[in-house]
């Protein structure tokens, strides 16, 4: 197979929607989440909205391992369709609850990535789950995350509706879901996945710093905010990162884009 054929596998005849690029990007995010050990068995879920109002979205099928998901496997659902869970091939009920609520309430959340990645989840189990700006990666999230301290069980519709209220403020791009995991949102798949990657790295740094038992050197608020703004405006960083990840998949797992 030539490199061009690997990079651009044919779109299956069974998939003729207009969101093929979003399907390919989301499939790449699933594959890399598995590679980075952000997944948890066949649980956890990602979505990307494909309608102007945000309520129509793509998401992973029920009980599918992230490492095997292909672009053509993704479900197209509508957050305003109450009959979704009654149809054959319905999504996971907690995935439907969480992402359906989010895409109904928060149209600015074009992409939503929910995981129980190890270090973000450790952070979510602490009595004080805040992420102090102790390094550049942690500063990236200064004043840009919300905390939900009121875990009430699995994210079926009532619990999901409550959780998603924390992301109504468009300045909050990460929700630390106490006793549960993390939800990261973004403008597109590259933006959201880059943010997920760095939040997990930041949480890892903080957790391991706590392990030392030594005092932490926390950046002043003004420096942390300045750093966060600089990182937000850093040209092409998320797009460049995600393009490299897709390029690796094009060589090693080209079926993700089929």
Q: What is the pLDDT of residues 63-107, one digit of tens each?
A: 999 999 999 999 999 999 988 888 878 889 989 999 999 999 999
The structural domains of the chain, ordered by start, are 3-257 (3.40.225.10)
Task: Show the tokens assigned to 30.
Answer: 């699933």
The C-alpha atoms of residue 134 and residue 190 are separated, in whole angstroms, by 25
The C-alpha atoms of residue 116 and residue 28 are separated, in whole angstroms, by 18
- The distance of Cα 235 from the centroid of its chain, to the nearest Å, equals 21
Q: What is the pLDDT of residues 46-70, one digit of tens each?
A: 999 999 999 999 999 999 999 999 9
pTM of the shown model: 0.92
Helix, strand, coil percentages, rounded to 5, for the chain: 45, 15, 40
The yes-or-no verdict on residue 6 having pLDDT over 70 is no
Q: Tell me what the mean pLDDT of segment 186-208 comes to.
A: 98
Query: Would you state the pLDDT for residue 152?
Result: 79
Contact partners, residue 166, CB within 8 Å, separation at least 6: 146, 147, 148, 172, 175
Higher pLDDT residue, 141 or 150?
141
The yes-or-no verdict on residue 1 having pLDDT over 50 is no
Name which of 29, 73, 71, 20 is nearest 50 in CA terms: 20
């Amino acid at each position: 197979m030539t490199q061009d054929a690997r990079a651009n596998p044919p779109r299956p005849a069974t998939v003729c929607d207009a969101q093929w690029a979003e399907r390919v990007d989301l499939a790449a995010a699933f594959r890399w989440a598995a590679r980075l050990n952000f997944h948890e068995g066949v649980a956890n879920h990602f979505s990307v909205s494909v309608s102007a109002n945000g309520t129509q979205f793509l998401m992973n099928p029920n009980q599918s391992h992230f490492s095997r998901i292909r672009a053509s496997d993704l479900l197209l659902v509508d957050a305003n369709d109450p009959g979704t869970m009654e149809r054959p091939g319905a999504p996971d009920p907690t995935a439907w609850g969480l992402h359906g609520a989010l895409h109904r309430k928060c149209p600015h959340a074009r992409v939503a990535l929910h995981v129980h990645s190890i270090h973000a989840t450790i952070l979510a189990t602490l009595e004080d789950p805040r992420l102090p700006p102790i390094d550049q990666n942690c500063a990236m999230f200064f004043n840009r995350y919300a905390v939900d301290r009121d875990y009430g069980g699995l994210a079926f519709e009532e619990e999901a509706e409550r959780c998603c209220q924390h992301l109504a403020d468009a300045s909050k791009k990460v929700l630390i879901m106490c006793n549960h995991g993390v939800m990261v949102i973004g403008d597109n798949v590259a933006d959201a996945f880059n943010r997920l990657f760095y939040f997990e790295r930041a949480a890892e740094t903080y957790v391991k710093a706590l392990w030392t038992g030594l005092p932490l050197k926390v950046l002043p608020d003004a420096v942390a905010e300045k750093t966060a703004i600089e990182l937000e405006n850093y040209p092409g960083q998320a797009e460049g990162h995600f393009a490299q990840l897709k390029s690796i998949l094009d060589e090693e797992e080209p079926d993700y884009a089929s």
